[in-house]
Chains A and B, each alone.
Chain A
Amino acid sequence: MNAPTVKEPEPKTSGPGRLEKVPTGIQGLDEITRGGLPRGRTTLICGGPGCGKTLMALEFLVHGATRFGEPGAFITFEETAGELATNGASLGFDLAALEADRKLAIDYVRIERSEIEESGEYDLEGLFIRIGFAIDSIGARRVAIDTLEVLFAGLPNPGILRTELRRLFRWLKEKGLTAIVTAERGDNGLTRHGFEEYISDCVITLDHRVSDQISTRRLRVLKYRGSVHDTDEVPFLIDEGGLSVLPISSLGLDHQALTSRVSTGIPDLDAMLGGGGFYRGGTVLVSGGAGSGKTSLAATFARRACREGKRCLFFTFEESSSQVVRNMRSIGIDLAPLMEQDLLRFHASRPSTGGLEVHLARMHRLVADFEPEVVIIDPMTNLLTVGTASELRSMLTRVIDFFKDRQVTALLTSLTAATLPSQETSDTHISWLVDTWILVREIESDGERNRGLYILKSRGMAHSNQVREFRLTDQGIELIDVYLGTDGVLVGAAREARMIRDEAEAREREYEAQQRQRRMVQRRAAVRAQIDALTAELEAEEEELRRAAEREHNSEGGKARDEARMAASRWVDQSFADDNQGRTVQP
């Protein structure tokens, strides 16, 4: 595209001071123009056919009429009032009602070249009268003229047309109208008929490019006299909500980091993340091979968020929403009631429905509309089919910045090639963007495949370094401690088998211990019996001894008594006997 040749136009009509701006009401456009289009000036919108010029002009007027209290006149050269009404209806605008309310005046200017003959000098006073009439009939503050090129095709003598158009733009300015004039893109200049020579306050170019069979609309504010504006090309979308422009490059790294957490919906995973779950406003990447349970993990998280009353927006690039709902029901996660409560919304589309920027634009738009606290993109790697890795990275950078700016917690899933020796490598190009990176890894052994889950990184939290077995049950997701033993990490049936074996061994060991215990008891009993026997024996001996001693004692005392008795019997007198008792009787 050649640089447009822009000449100094008429002197500015407005007084000193800051340039006053008129909001267009078009999402994003007011941001990149820092407030809208210049008030009382004419803005040129140029672009190729079908790039959205008419819709932009129409939206400018409709928003003006409905939201900003500025009625508008639409002068169309290309579409009949009926066609315009149909176009408006496709964006949800009821043009007939606006006309009836005197908020919008539409004049369809039809110029049929075959009917027209030229004879002598003419001017476009008829057009001026019509525009003036349309404006005066409703007190219009905004005007859109779409597309003036038709004049050149329908009327002879371009010299007169140029002079008249110059007069027209000056006239619009004098009337203080904020106007949009659309023009076809030219081969050698910005516009086919060089309108940029007359309109130079604000020039916006629209573009509709197709690369790899995927079209992307882009907008650029080429010129905005007296105002700061973004000069980058930005993608824009046209959908049932109208036009939306994405100020994708305007975000920086100044978002607030939140310390509050959002639960993952899996208590064990919350515990692995140091308790509590992900950081609110954080970005989580879940990587894994096909069928590794990424979507289930995402759905569990979504359900948990919705149950806490948070809105959740689920972008799915692989399955339809009903398919996701059905599949999740099989693992005991019923998403349907959450959708009925409008807490959960799905947006299912094939990646090939648009370029990366279209997807980005769509995400912006849907997030801005629904204002979710949680966004899921499943799987973001599917977008690689419409862009290269570096384009995807650039897109994700912008979308993640956008999410962070809005404090949206985002969970992206990434399909990694399970055949790669190291699954992690394929995601490293975006890993620096995410705060928490969870890997669901296939562990293949003993003829079966199991899932191991671990946290590769999680910024700002003390997280577990453990590998857990990740199981999908009909009650949802379960995290089980894997078997760590001499044979390494065992999962699945191997873990079960190992555990059975371990249990048998344990039982065996326990039995042995019990046996030993019993033997000990017996031994103790035996020893005790022996002790008792010995004690009894000892006691018997002691008794014997005591008896013997007693006997001895008794025998000595008896001898004296016997002697006395014998003495008495021998009639020994008492004194003798008493003396005898005091001294040893000498036999």
Chain B
Amino acid sequence: MTRDQEPIEKADDSAGTESQRMELRLYVAGQTSRSLAAIDNLRRICEKNLKGRYTIEVIDLMQAPQLARTDQIVAIPTLVKKLPPPLRRIIGDLSNSERVLIGLDIRPVDSTGADHES
């Protein structure tokens, strides 16, 4: 992602069913290593645990600062789980996958890739 890019990047994998779809928003501020790490970590976690059942929006507050106010963002990076309720926020570079999964209320998928949730 570069500065010229659209602030909102959508990564939509519509393979999953609508009812189980998780809407996530990741707020970052510019191209910091921490932001990039957060994006990478989030994609990795979602691919592993939510394959086909998630949407990620990445919002760069440097380019849309007004959203920091409307979406009540203080810490950067912040991951917001908008759907399904309840709303949850996970702050940090998401390097601790376990805590991200707890925050998103997802049971981790084991190494074989089997989905315990189904």
Contacts and interface: CB of A to CB of B under 8 A. Distances in A.
Contacts of A133: 65-66, 68-69
B92 A110 contact: no
Contacts of B27: 126
A133 B92 CA distance: 22
Interface string A354-385: 00000000000000000000000000000000
User: Which of B27, B38, B65, B99 gathers most chain A CB within 10 Å?
Assistant: B65
A155 B65 contact: no
Contacts of A122: 34, 75-78, 91-93
Nearest to A156: B91
B112 to A, nearest CB: 24
A129 B99 contact: no
Contacts of A121: 34, 92-93, 95
Interface residues of A, number: 24
A118 B90 CA distance: 5
A132 B89 contact: no
Interface string A482-507: 00000000000000000000000000
A126 B68 contact: yes
B91 A130 contact: no
A117 B97 CA distance: 12
Contacts of B74: 109, 111, 124, 126-127, 130, 151, 155
Interface in B41-66: 41, 61-62, 65-66
Given A117-B103, A125-B61, A133-B65, A155 B75 contact: yes
Contacts of B103: 117, 119
A118 B92 contact: yes
Contacts of A111: 72, 74
Given A118-B92, A120-B93, A126 B73 contact: yes
Nearest to A127: B74
Interface string A102-126: 0000010111000111111111111
Contacts of B94: 119-120
Contacts of B21: none
A536 to B, nearest CB: 137
Contacts of B72: 109-111
Nearest to A121: B93
Given A123-B34, A130-B65, A116 B92 contact: no
Given A116-B90, A129-B61, A132-B65, A123 B75 contact: yes
Contact of B102 (A115, A117, A120, A129): A117
A111 B75 CA distance: 10
Nearest to B100: A119
Contacts of B73: 126, 129-130
A130 B74 CA distance: 8
Which of B65, B76, B91, B96 has the largest count of A CB atoms less than 10 A from its CB?
B91
Given A122-B75, A126-B74, A151-B74, A116 B68 contact: no
Nearest to A109: B74
B83 interface: no
Given A126-B75, A129-B62, A117 B68 contact: no
- The interface residues of chain B, by DSSP majority, are classed as mixed
Given A126-B78, A155-B74, A117 B91 contact: yes
The listed residue with most B CB atoms (<10 A of its CB), out of A123, A129, A155, is A129
A118 B91 contact: yes
B8 interface: no
B73 to A, nearest CB: 4
B91 A155 contact: yes
Interface string B8-45: 00000000000000000001010000100110010000
A124 B76 CA distance: 6
A143 to B, nearest CB: 15
B96 A120 contact: yes
Contacts of B99: 117-119
Contacts of A116: 88-91
Interface in B89-118: 89-97, 99-100, 102-103
A124 B94 CA distance: 15
A210 B30 CA distance: 51
B87 interface: yes
- Most chain A CB atoms below 10 A, which of B34, B92, B99: B92
A122 B62 CA distance: 16
Nearest to B103: A117
B95 A124 contact: no
Contacts of B100: 117, 119
A119 B76 contact: no
B55 to A, nearest CB: 20
A108 to B, nearest CB: 9
Among A107, A121, A132, A134: residue with most chain B CB under 10 A: A121
A130 B37 CA distance: 23
A157 to B, nearest CB: 9
Given A115-B89, A117-B90, A119-B92, A130 B75 contact: no
Most chain B C-beta atoms within 10 Å of own C-beta, residue among A121, A122, A127, A151: A122
Interface in A72-124: 107, 109-111, 115-124
A388 B103 CA distance: 61
Contacts of A118: 90-92, 99
Nearest to B99: A119
A119 B27 CA distance: 14
A124 B65 contact: no
B46 to A, nearest CB: 14
B103 to A, nearest CB: 3
B52 to A, nearest CB: 23
A583 to B, nearest CB: 177
A125 B76 contact: yes
B29 A125 contact: yes
A115 B77 CA distance: 15
Contact of A120 (B87, B89, B95): B95
Given A119-B94, A122-B76, A130-B65, 5 more contacts: A111-B74, A118-B92, A122-B91, A127-B74, A133-B68
18 contacts: A107-B69, A110-B72, A116-B89, A119-B94, A119-B103, A120-B94, A120-B95, A122-B75, A123-B75, A123-B76, A124-B75, A125-B61, A126-B73, A126-B75, A127-B75, A129-B65, A132-B65, A133-B66
- Which 8 A-B pairs give the minimum distances between C-beta atoms? A117-B103, A120-B92, A120-B95, A125-B76, A120-B93, A126-B73, A119-B99, A125-B29
